[in-house]
């Protein structure tokens, strides 16, 4: 059974290719953090190595070992420190040594499965050397090996690597689908499922992690408070905030992107409130504050601020000076 939730298009495409015996030797799964890229990569690894007829069965020894990260033929390459607690940011890059080590292992036959699978999580973080080394392997792909690259931002990946991978996009899942999965599969109460589903913004992995981790909701709430407070801060306080975010950006880019995405949900919610579509808002636990702020802004001011936040995200992606970009954002009238 395919376990990834809501990614019907990608799953159907893989099922079809597998049934017709024409799976690609390299895939690129593109989508936001927590959307299900790793789950899909694990499922595909199981399909390729499952011992039952109905693949992936999820029950056989091979499927179970892959799910628990203990199959010798399924290897995950990622930046050191990813998945560790927030305070220790992950390494900036996937280094050349990690790719060299992988190249050594793909020259050997799979130990016990049918197929070796190399999952590169955060493919956009490969160093230039690492990417060039991987390219060489993709140019002459070893037998019985499938590469699965996972990326949030494919623009930072070498075009020559992209052209050798079959691309599958994993978009955010509809809120209704997340809500239903939380209630039916994770036995979350409908009310809590509704809140988590909306806050996850269609990235179901976030909602699943938040079920048992109160800290995630608290952190989310604290960040949102700081952003809401900016509306009544003076310019020096706003610049101080920009400077803190810029310092954080230098250590952990993704976390600053999360702040800005969170802020975008706030401005989108204001837009929805203003248009009388309160039932679609993301931050349902802040309906009162949203109602209050919606009265303060004109539609064009909210729209302008949404555009400015998006523009700042774009500039940061293109390596603009983070402090300058964030200070310019704070100069907006809001
Ligand atoms: Zn199986």
pLDDT per residue rounded down to tens, the chain (334 residues):
898 999 999 999 999 999 999 999 999 999 998 999 999 999 999 999 999 999 999 999 999 999 999 999 999 999 987 654 445 566 789 999 999 999 999 988 888 878 999 999 999 999 999 999 999 999 999 989 999 999 998 988 999 999 999 999 999 999 999 999 999 999 999 999 999 999 998 999 999 999 999 899 999 999 999 999 998 999 999 999 999 999 999 888 888 998 999 999 999 999 999 999 998 999 998 999 999 999 999 999 999 999 999 999 999 988 899 999 999 999 998 8
Please report the pLDDT score of residue 201 as a whole number. 87
The confidence score (pLDDT) of residue 89 equals 62
Query: Length of the chain, please?
Result: 334
- Distance (angstroms) between ligand 1 centre and the Cα of 254 equals 35
319 Rama class: left (phi>0) / alpha (psi -120 to 50) / beta: left
What is the whole-number distance in angstroms between the Cα of residue 112 and the centre of ligand 1?
Answer: 14
- Say how many Å lie between the CA of residue 266 and the centre of ligand 1: 43
Cα(53) to ligand 1 centroid in Å equals: 8
Q: 133 near 100, Cβ under 8 Å?
A: yes
Cα 98-37-65 angle, rounded to 5 deg: 70
Here the tokens at position 321 are 């000076």
Enumerate long-range contacts of 60-66, CB under 8 Å, 24 or more apart: 62/112, 62/113, 66/42
Centre of ligand 1 from the C-alpha of residue 143, in Å: 22
How much is the pLDDT for 85?
47
């Amino acid at each position: 059974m395919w376990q990834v939730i809501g990614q019907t298009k990608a799953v159907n495409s893989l099922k079809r290719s597998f049934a017709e015996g024409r799976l690609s030797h390299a895939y690129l799964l593109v989508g936001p953090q927590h959307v299900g890229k790793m789950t899909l990569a694990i499922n595909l690894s199981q399909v390729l190595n499952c011992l039952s007829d109905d693949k992936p069965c999820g029950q056989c020894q091979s499927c179970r070992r892959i799910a628990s990260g203990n199959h010798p033929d399924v290897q995950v390459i990622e930046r050191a420190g990813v998945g560790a607690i927030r305070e220790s940011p992950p390494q900036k890059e996937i280094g050349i040594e990690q790719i060299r080590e992988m190249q050594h292992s793909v020259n050997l036959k799979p130990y016990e499965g049918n197929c070796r699978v190399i999952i590169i999580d955060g493919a956009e973080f490969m160093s230039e050397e690492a990417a060039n080394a991987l390219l060489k392997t993709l140019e002459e792909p070893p037998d019985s090996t499938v590469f699965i690259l996972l990326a949030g931002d494919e623009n930072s990946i070498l075009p020559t690597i992209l052209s050798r991978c079959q691309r599958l996009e994993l978009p955010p899942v509809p809120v209704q689908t997340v809500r239903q999965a939380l209630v039916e599969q994770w036995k979350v109460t409908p009310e809590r499922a509704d809140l988590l589903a909306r806050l996850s913004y269609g990235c179901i992995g976030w909602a699943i992690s938040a079920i048992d981790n109160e800290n995630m909701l608290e952190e989310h709430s604290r960040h949102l408070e700081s952003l809401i407070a900016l509306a009544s801060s003076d310019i020096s306080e706003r610049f101080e905030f920009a400077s803190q975010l810029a310092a954080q950006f230098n250590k952990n880019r993704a976390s600053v992107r999360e702040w800005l995405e969170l802020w975008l949900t706030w401005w989108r919610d204001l837009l929805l409130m203003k248009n009388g579509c309160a039932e679609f808002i993301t931050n349902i636990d802040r309906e009162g504050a949203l109602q209050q702020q919606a009265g303060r802004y004109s539609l064009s001011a909210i729209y302008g601020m949404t555009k400015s936040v998006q523009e700042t995200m774009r500039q940061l992606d293109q390596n603009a000076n983070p402090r300058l970009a964030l200070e310019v954002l704070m100069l907006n009238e809001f």
